[in-house]
Amino acid sequence: MNNKIYIITAAGGNGTTIKVIDRPLSREEYAVQGKLLGKETESLGSEQAGFLIPSLNHFEMAGGEFCGNASRSAALLLSKLQEDGGRVSFTVSGYDGTVGGLVEKNGATHFVVSCVFPRMSIDVRPTKLASGEEVTVVDLGGIVHVVMRKPFPHDAETYQKQHRSIVRELGLENRGAVGVIWITGTESAITMHPVVWVKDVDTFFYEKSCGSGTIAVAKITGTSSIIQPTGEMIVALITPESVTLKSKMEVTHEWN
């Protein structure tokens, strides 16, 4: 099954393309090959790419960043490859720890996948932009999100311009991955709209769902179930000991 390629969605969106490989690559190779892989599969609903090395129980994003949805995609694939009853343990880029995954089958291609990230660092810093607008910077180490409570500007030119302006103003140009998240709603029903830029592969997506962004929003709002742009939920349970991320997932494509 090595060297197969899969696309896996989380909460109905944010497809992750994963290539299973036999040996680790250099950081430059991950970026170059991952960028090509992402471009080749974008028309299939992929918004990011990464590489799974089963022999090392390691998953590496093309840009070296941390991605909650891709981490759970990797857990799903490891479970398929290892046939170990749905429980897996592995490492991922952008997170300094060992991830515990639980994969529950919900049909031929549908699953419910949760990952536990022990002692995940979440640094929260409220700040003001030059305009006077209040935002919250949530730094997860392998990715940083800037969360704003305001309606999402669905026009691509507008949200890209706002994202780039915020990244410049807050001095985040050298971070590996930066998300800007617009949130609306009350504590009982918070909807998020994440726009994520990854430096090494120069991708810029309004993501249809976002695991790491869900962690950021859950942390600052205290609400664990966050509505994604697809309308589906991702749940982030945050305790002093760990972060648990959970949602429905689907294997939408696989090929050699």
Q: What is the mean pLDDT of residues 210-227?
A: 98
Asked whether the predicted pLDDT for residue 113 surpasses 60, the reply is yes
Q: What is the pLDDT of residue 60?
A: 98
Q: Where in the chain are all domains bearing CATH 3.10.310.10?
A: 5-118+243-255
The fold of the 5-118+243-255 domain, in CATH, is Diaminopimelate Epimerase; Chain A, domain 1 (3.10.310)
Banded pLDDT at 153 (limits 50, 70, 90): very high
Q: Which residues of 14-40 are buried (b: 16+ CB within 10 A; e: fewer)?
A: bbbbbbbbeeebeeeebbebbbebbee
Asked whether residue 253 carries a pLDDT value surpassing 60, the answer given is yes
The yes-or-no verdict on residue 125 having pLDDT over 50 is yes
User: What is the Cα 214 distance to its own chain's centre?
Assistant: 9
Query: Is residue 167 scored above 80 in pLDDT?
Result: yes
Indicate whether 23 pLDDT > 50.
yes
List the one residue out of 50, 48, 6 whose CA is nearest residue 27. 50
- CATH architecture group of domain 123-240: Roll (3.10)
pLDDT of 84 strictly over 80: no
- HSE-CB at 36 with a 13 A cutoff on CA atoms is 6
Using pLDDT thresholds of 50, 70 and 90, give the confidence band for residue 1. Answer: very low
pLDDT digits (tens, 9 = 90+) for 51-75: 999 999 999 999 999 999 999 999 9
**Average pLDDT of the chain?**
96
pTM of the entire predicted model? 0.97
126 vs 221: CA distance, rounded Å = 13
* Residues 6+ positions from 135 with CB-CB distance below 8 Å: 126, 127, 128, 129, 146, 147, 148, 166
Q: Is the pLDDT of residue 171 over 50?
A: yes
